[in-house]
Amino acid sequence: MSALPPTIRALTVDTGGTVLDWYSGILRELQEFGRTRGLTADWSAVAKRWRRLSTVMVDDGMPQENGIATLDFDDVLRITQEQTWREFGLPVADADTRAELLAMWRRLDPWPDVRRALPRLRAKFRVAPFTILKTTMLIETSRRGGLDWDCIISCEMIGTYKTKRPAYDTAAHWLGVAPANILMVTGHNNDLIAAHSYGFRTAFIHRPKQWGDEPPQFPEADDRADFVCRDFADLAEQLGCP
């Protein structure tokens, strides 16, 4: 790891899993969904499978037309919800039920350390979420969690999704900051490695409970991380925030 250069001016922050506690929120919602409908399932396994399928679909490459993605993350969640339901032998959801399931992702809460540390980070840097999540999902979860950002950057707005280079280049352009002057903050090594390869500085946030009691997808930071942090409070300390 290297010392923070004085030229760092902005932080771009991954959201799903790094800022938002997706597993606890979706598990709670699915358990209530099953209770009210008399459905029994391993809801923890359902939540994890739904999340895995959705991220794999994005990682495999979103379909494009004239260089612009033709699906957004809501579309991804709809498609992978149906696949997950089939795999677990759950009844086919009608349109109203599918909308209700999709709305679960707009009621996720942030990890507690984010809410406390974000004002400290913003006192020193421009800070923006940079995520594959849909713009409306960012707005609603930020309002729900009391998170104030300098701006929000959804890959939906760009038309290209992480971990493709145009997404990172566009985020830097919109912030008016060169990639070398941006710190990409993420709990996912694939995001970290991509950002590093495109010229960003990088910070890894440990999220050991992102998958509940299951071992985390990325238990250790890739060695290309400039900073390795327990949480956002530790990030603020390492960056010298007041």
Task: List pLDDT tens digits, range 133-148.
Answer: 999 999 999 999 999 9
Mean pLDDT within 74-81: 94
Question: pTM for the complete prediction?
Answer: 0.93
- Domain range summary for the chain, segments of one domain joined by +: 10-21+108-238, 22-106
Mean predicted lDDT score pLDDT of the chain? 94
Predicted pLDDT of residue 5: 54
Q: Read off the pLDDT band of 55 (50, 70, 90).
A: very high
Alpha helices in 60-164 (DSSP H): 73-87, 95-103, 112-122, 135-145, 155-158
29 φψ region: left (φ > 0), alpha (ψ -120 to 50), beta (else): alpha
Whose tokens are 């998170």? That residue is 147
Type of residue found at 227: F
57-74 confidence digits (pLDDT tens): 998 887 888 778 888 999
Indicate the CATH number of 22-106 among 3.30.70, 1.10.150, 2.60.40, 1.10.3470: 1.10.150
Q: Give which of 227, 148, 144 is closest to 185, Cα–Cα.
A: 227
Q: According to CATH, what is the number of the domain 10-21+108-238? A: 3.40.50.1000
